Amino acid sequence: MYLIDCYVTKIIGEPYRKFGAWWVDAEYESEGSPSKTQLMFRTEEAARAAQVGHKFTA
């Protein structure tokens, strides 16, 4: 499987609870292409700690 590094460029709104997890809407960039996603976290504290520059793989 090929994984790509993605970096958050903007947090959109506040964290919210859904399906038993905490989610944050974000814009990100990977390989020069911008896009939007929802990042999932186990705790509210972790969701609130997400910020510009946060790295994740997709």
Q: Can you give the residue ranges of every domain in the chain?
A: 5-57
Quote the pLDDT of residue 56.
96
Specify the DSSP class assigned to residue 20. Answer: T
Compute the mean pLDDT over every residue in the chain, rounded to the nearest whole number: 96
pLDDT tens for each residue of 31-42: 999 999 999 999
Structure tokens at 33: 């292409």
Give the model's confidence band at 2: pLDDT under 50 very low, under 70 low, under 90 confident, else very high.
confident
Residues 27 and 9: beta-carbon distance below 8 Å: yes
Residue 7 has pLDDT above 80, yes or no: yes
Helix (H, G, I), strand (E, B) or coil at 51: coil
14 pLDDT higher than 80: yes
